[in-house]
Amino acid sequence: MEQLRRNVVVEKTIKSVQDLYDMLDTDFRSAKQFWEPFYEDRNRPIPFFPNKPDENLVAHVNEGVLSGGKALELGCGPGRNALYLTRQGYQVDAYDLSETAIAWAKERAAEEQLDVHFECRSVFELSPEQEYDLVYDSGCLHHLLPHQRIPYIEMIHNALRPGGYFGMTCFAPGFGDIGGPEIVMNDWQVYQEKSMRGGLAFTEEKLRYMLEDGFECVEFRAMKSLEQHEPYFGVPFLWATLWRKKNS
């Protein structure tokens, strides 16, 4: 009886920050529920399905800014950027929530005989400590709920070695007619509407404000728009950014 009483008291009691995060999560569909079926049809005309790396990532490698070491990719999908980094000499760990996407990425790696550590795991299960020279996020951040950004950014900062780089692409506003969000939602609005409307757009000012404590900005620009026949991925509704970890 005492244990039953305790269970009733403890259930849905907020005692920690994680309890608060868990409560905020409950009003939204889980990310895995969305992404698992998203990758099932490989023939869908999704711009980032083809095995082509982001044009900004290629540019940083060609310029010598990113020059090898150990890399972590978050929300890797079918592996196009992880595979590219491996070809450039990086040792790569790549994670995604979708088992279907990870299976596809492993197939691609096997076809190219590349050694990449692909694994189906949530980014919130990761806790690396100064292990990586590069952390890369191609479209993961803009699908996170505002409260999830707090442990996400903290994890990335902890994952990087001193002076390591964080590369990231995310939605810019004003592209509602071609697939991106039209406006920047106020973070409070997300919880009031109980919706991210398919993904959150960010102004440059907002992104700099979110990241300025732990990172210095190396590059901030719009991603170049590339045609489907070109060897790299580029769409105009994404920001292409690169940050360097600040050393405390």
Strand partners, 135: 72, 166
Residue 28 has pLDDT above 80, yes or no: yes
pLDDT confidence bin for 4, thresholds 50/70/90: low
Which positions ≥6 away from 108 have C-beta within 8 Å?
A: 51, 78, 79, 80, 83
Q: Is the dihedral of CA 233, 239, 240, 246 positive or negative?
A: negative
Residue with the two structure tokens 């409070």: 188
196 phi/psi in degrees, rounded to 5: -105, 5
Tokens (6 digits) for 223: 């991603």
Contact 76, 106 (CB under 8 A): no
pLDDT at position 247 is: 84
pLDDT tens per residue, range 73-129: 999 999 999 999 999 999 999 999 999 999 999 999 999 999 999 999 999 999 999
pLDDT at position 6 is: 55
d(CA 142, CA 161): 24
Nearest to 247 by CA among 160, 127, 166: 160
pLDDT at position 65 is: 97
